[in-house]
Amino acid sequence: MEVSRYEPMLALDGGEDGMMPYRRILGQLEEFDMRPSLAAFECGLGQAQELARMLEEAGRWTEVTIMKDFAGIDRHVFAVRRQRIDS
């Protein structure tokens, strides 16, 4: 079964390097009135390291973690923003 027969092109086109959707999402996260303290992504084969690097370079996430799927492939990237509690 070929995915391209069932998915819209927007869902399949990641730009030249496949990372365009993640760049757009990272930019949109900063536009929220209240910035989230957790971001979670599922990514394609070979994309987890680059996505983690992008999150770390954004400088707003205090913890970036890559998790493997059941096949042992780096598939999920989680970013946490720990907020300081002022007394």
Question: Domains of the chain: which residue ranges?
Answer: 3-80
What is the Cα–Cα distance from 21 to 47, expressed in whole angstroms?
12
- Nearest CA to 85 among 37, 52, 29? 37
The pTM of this model reads 0.75
Per-residue pLDDT of the chain (87 residues; tens, 9 = 90+): 565 676 656 555 556 777 888 898 888 887 776 777 899 999 989 999 999 999 999 888 889 999 999 999 999 999 998 765 454
- The correct CATH number of 3-80 out of 3.30.565.10, 3.40.50.720, 3.40.630.10, 3.40.50.150 is 3.40.50.150
Q: Are 81 and 37 in contact (CB under 8 A)?
A: yes
DSSP for 21-75, please give it. HHHHHHHHHTTSSS--SEEEEE--TT-HHHHHHHHHHHT--SEEEEEE-TTS-EE
